[in-house]
């Protein structure tokens, strides 16, 4: 993998993260309100259950690769030192056809 290909991979992941963050921010208030209501109704701690964000990551089929990539970046502070993890994530992402699955009309119309 060349440096240029790694940079392109990083850009692709950054683009995906920007789209995911934009969607998350736009829905955050609704999610917070729903979560507060559910906790009040349940009256119990459900921290063992994946939250909505984790469920989305799990649905990609690449949650383990995503975790390894995030941990690598957290440990090193430098995406360039996480080439293997990034490559593993990219292969998983492609294998699970996530570009098709996450390509929606709403995402295509977002202006940044």
Lookup: tokens for 80: 């360039």
At 24, is the pLDDT very low, low, confident or very high (cuts 50, 70, 90)?
low
Q: Give me the number of domains the chain comprises.
A: 1
Who's near 109: CB < 8 A, 6+ residues apart? none
* 27-52 pLDDT tens trace: 677 777 776 666 666 555 556 788 99
Torsion over CA: 16, 72, 68, 79 (sign): positive
Lookup: tokens for 29: 């208030």
Lookup: tokens for 50: 């994946």
The pLDDT value given to residue 8: 77
The residue segments making up the domain with residue 17 are 3-108
The b/e string for 61-88 (b: 16+ C-beta within 10 A; e otherwise) is: bbbebbebbeebeeeeeebeebbebbbb
């Amino acid at each position: 993998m060349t440096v240029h290909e790694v940079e392109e991979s990083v850009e692709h992941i950054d683009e995906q993260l920007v789209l995911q963050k934009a969607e998350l921010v736009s829905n955050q208030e609704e999610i917070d309100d729903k979560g507060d209501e559910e906790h009040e109704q349940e009256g119990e701690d459900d921290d063992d259950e994946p939250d909505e964000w984790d469920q989305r990551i799990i649905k990609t089929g690449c949650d383990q690769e995503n975790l390894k990539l995030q941990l690598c970046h957290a440990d090193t502070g430098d995406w360039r030192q996480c080439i293997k993890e990034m490559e593993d994530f990219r292969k998983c992402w492609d294998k699970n056809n996530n570009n098709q699955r996450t390509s929606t009309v709403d995402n295509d119309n977002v202006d940044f």
